[in-house]
Structure 1
């Protein structure tokens, strides 16, 4: 693959320095723990909305989404179509709920309903999830960029990780959000440049791409089977209904059960601004994801006509190859910067939200070393809290870098393992939050049994689709054939979350029963 020119490297270097400087500049406005976590609740809705867009579009999706439509169809776009439905539920039921709950943590209210275990389980899982995600993003973007700028992958991981830690550490959530705004603009600009260059190089432009992708033997624009089924099709792909349902649950999990999104609701000036930010992120992501998928389709038609793509090139490598092969000097550097921007806007959010959870749900909940007594009441020791947040930002960043470096040595194999484990554990959190928001259930027993049942169901559906299990587990795989025939693996989180909610709703005590 061609590598970046000196001019491209200068463009990338200037971008990294500028974004890091912007983030560090925000340290002037971060003097308290609350400002570190919520930016003083002073940001306009459009700024928060752009930040949400940056969080949605990771470097993995920037490279992988075009790869999906290059090698397949538009079925993954159905995932994006579920966003407006999830956004409606979030703006009606969750944005006002979280802003009025009195805590920056997305999980403190669970303790009041189901006990301490529910809060700790949800908070610590979310922290572990984001540490793994930081590692995955750093590894993924470094793997893509190392082929473009001919720098060792471990060096890219370390440099990118240190830069993000630096401005997140100093500027807090305000630095995260404002740098996300810049990164979102760079990201969208880079996508549009790539799209224009691609369209200009395909005979007939957009119409030529659509015509080439619509050929009967290609059927590249298909949105999947319209069968009313949640099972895999005969060809092994998911149905439209499965992808739409899966997308709704995952996007609702983001809006209602992920600290990175919930925390942004508090940074907005008003509840109306917070609602607008959700709608802005959800609606804007539809055309952004459509452009990314269209890039993949266009690349397929382009290389069908030109035939210059090396035979061993993987789908995820096609867009980077096009960037370095077809874009003019300087613009290629801008596209590399866009890929890095997508990574940085995800990593900084994970760092800040995870540090917030460790302060709210661990440090101040169990140790209270940062709390001092004033006039007979308790008041937070703000200096201690701010030091704790910054220390945790460093610790979490180092852990994320370590995970990324471990993925390098394992050649990415642990990435697959991580996603399976995180998928199994994640179902319980959304189920608990839905149970707390839409029922009057209380008490630990029903909720805990619901989580155990839901996580068990997710495990069964996941294992049912893992033919590469160790030999001693093959009998289990064989017995799960009915599950495999009935449910797509994407339905695991849907089934698990639903079981947590239903079991918890049926078996939990109600307020009247508790007072009787």
Structure 2
């Protein structure tokens, strides 16, 4: 088992203890459900912006993005380029809408528009999205720390989960936001430090990195062909726009932060601050991936070591030499991209600095997980328990339930992370799952906001059709072989695009047909 130097372990321990103490610090004033979920509306806009930025910049970004850049190119950076347009729509329409309603839940208004089923459907989609998000982040951080320490991924997730649960349960949304401010700064500085450490280890420095990257087309944003069966520039741009529209407009993680601001203007500024920070920060992580590619291109012997590690995880110990050789030959950079940065940290980063970088990766994971736990507990309490089981719950019972559900969702996230052990790409898994669960939610929300004449029955019919289309896109192999021509060939990143548009357009069409029918009978 690898053991980190005492200095690195001390840095990591101080960071974890510090985050827990922050939670206890804020617990002193955290005596009501409003303080737990809204921070009593007293958080400045710049802090909220940093918090949203930190939620975006998860360990999926910290580990998954360099892995994608190493294994492919900068195609995934197009996701970040889509953010400004989604943010503009959010600031113009979504932020004022939620601030005016005063509802802490992002989904309460769906019941007012279409009935209880719509609210419940959106809540289920959101909670599934959060489990996928937290699971992928738990997995990502465990993947990195296992390479550094040799401790099992399950044990790492459990220790991490307990730490996050402690400060989230005690401190509420205020602790989440202010720890994310610190975490956002730490992870950004960590990215800069990694770039520096990789560059100084590449003979020829930046010039050589750019030379190798250009030669192997590592800086490409993807094909500009109008091909929606592959992750082209346009597919990722559409995916990014719709998923960011969902983030800013439907995701409780972000909606809840709008309510913590002192004013609508402050909430709007927080969205733009997130964009101004995230786009250049995500650029840094693609630079890290390209720098690592150049470094390992000069050290093919290290690539062989990483390949053997991957094969050892995938094949049983009894596998023959020929089986191992055949499996090795089939590996591509995309198969081991997520292993590259942890390996570099183990082999090339000096003692002390490893602890700082691990703290940065931990901050990337903890900020998003704590946010997901708090928002999931809020949604469950408001939209499920108080709606269906006990509407007259007392303030004391409400706060206790928020604490209990925060713990429950933290544990559920750990279980989801354990279930993801063995996946090839963290970023690919997260993008696919988020697209599946968010598609129906966003389509229904846009239908309710834009088509004011659409009523319950049209919305329900459109949602059912949309869910069927999402299932068709997600599980094409469920269609029997004799009907293979009917299987979807679209790239999985198109699920949220097609699913959202299906629900919205079908709802509008059914409303128009109904209106014309009513007019004709008069």
473, 480, 487: which one aligns with 2:486: 480
Q: Determine if contact 1:113/1:441 at 8 Å carries over to the other structure.
A: no
Q: Which residue of 2 aligns with 1:273?
A: 266
- Partner Cα distance (2:86, 2:204) in 1: 37
- Deviation per CA, 1:321-344, whole angstroms, max 9, x where unpaired? 112222221001111111111111
- Partner Cα distance (2:69, 2:302) in 1: 16
Q: Which residue of 2 aligns with 1:286?
A: 279
- Partner Cα distance (1:252, 1:436) in 2: 15
Q: Which residue of 2 aligns with 1:378?
A: none
1:449 and 2:461 correspond: yes
Q: Determine if contact 2:63/2:140 at 8 Å carries over to the other structure.
A: no
Structure 2 unaligned regions, length at least 5: 307-335
Q: Determine if contact 1:370/1:382 at 8 Å carries over to the other structure.
A: no
- Partner Cα distance (2:430, 2:392) in 1: 34
5 Å-filtered alignment, 1:71-86, equals: 71-86=71-86
Tell me how far 1:194 sits from its aligned partner.
0.7
- Partner Cα distance (1:298, 1:268) in 2: 39
Q: Which residue of 1 aligns with 2:56?
A: 56
Tell me how far 1:384 sits from its aligned partner.
1.7
- Partner Cα distance (1:460, 1:273) in 2: 42
- Deviation per CA, 1:304-324, whole angstroms, max 9, x where unpaired? 224452315221111111122
1:210 and 2:210 correspond: yes
Tell me how far 1:405 sits from its aligned partner.
3.5
Q: Determine if contact 2:2/2:150 at 8 Å carries over to the other structure.
A: no
Q: Which residue of 2 aligns with 1:376?
A: none
Tell me how far 1:219 sits from its aligned partner.
1.1
1:402 and 2:415 correspond: yes
Q: Which residue of 1 aligns with 2:297?
A: 304
Q: Which residue of 1 aligns with 2:106?
A: 106
- Partner Cα distance (1:493, 1:450) in 2: 15
Q: Determine if contact 1:424/1:455 at 8 Å carries over to the other structure.
A: no
Q: Which residue of 2 aligns with 1:334?
A: 356
Instruction: Identify the range of structure 1 (265-274 vs 451-460) with the bigger mean alpha-carbon deviation.
Output: 451-460
- Deviation per CA, 1:48-75, whole angstroms, max 9, x where unpaired? 1111111101112211111111121111
5 Å-filtered alignment, 1:22-421, equals: 22-215=22-215, 218-232=216-230, 238-313=231-306, 314-371=336-393, 381-408=394-421, 411-412=422-423
- Deviation per CA, 1:420-455, whole angstroms, max 9, x where unpaired? 666434311100111112220342211111111222
- Partner Cα distance (1:403, 1:493) in 2: 22
Per the alignment, in what secondary structure is the counterpart of residue 310 of structure 1? helix
1:501 and 2:514 correspond: no
Q: Determine if contact 1:407/1:414 at 8 Å carries over to the other structure.
A: no
Tell me how far 1:16 sits from its aligned partner.
0.7
Q: Which residue of 1 aligns with 2:332?
A: none
Tell me how far 1:404 sits from its aligned partner.
2.9
Tell me how far 1:140 sits from its aligned partner.
2.5
Q: 1:92 to 1:180 in 2, by over 3 A?
A: same
Structure 1 unaligned regions, length at least 5: 233-237, 372-380
Q: Determine if contact 1:27/1:171 at 8 Å carries over to the other structure.
A: yes
Instruction: Identify the range of structure 1 (450-459 vs 100-109) with the bigger mean alpha-carbon deviation.
Output: 450-459
- Partner Cα distance (1:201, 1:414) in 2: 26
- Deviation per CA, 1:394-418, whole angstroms, max 9, x where unpaired? 222222223333445xx45999999
Q: Which residue of 1 aligns with 2:20?
A: 20
Instruction: Identify the range of structure 1 (63-72 vs 434-443) with the bigger mean alpha-carbon deviation.
Output: 434-443
RMSD between superposed Cα atoms in Å: 2.4
Tell me how far 1:85 sits from its aligned partner.
0.8
Tell me how far 1:175 sits from its aligned partner.
0.7
Aligned length: 487
- Partner Cα distance (1:417, 1:304) in 2: 27
What TM-score do the two structures reach when normalised by structure 2? 0.88
Q: Which aligned runs of 4 or more in structure 1 are off by greater than 6 angstroms?
A: 413-419
Per the alignment, in what secondary structure is the counterpart of residue 453 of structure 2? coil
- Deviation per CA, 1:276-300, whole angstroms, max 9, x where unpaired? 1111111211111111011110111
Q: 1:209 to 1:412 in 2, by over 3 A?
A: closer
Tell me how far 1:393 sits from its aligned partner.
0.9
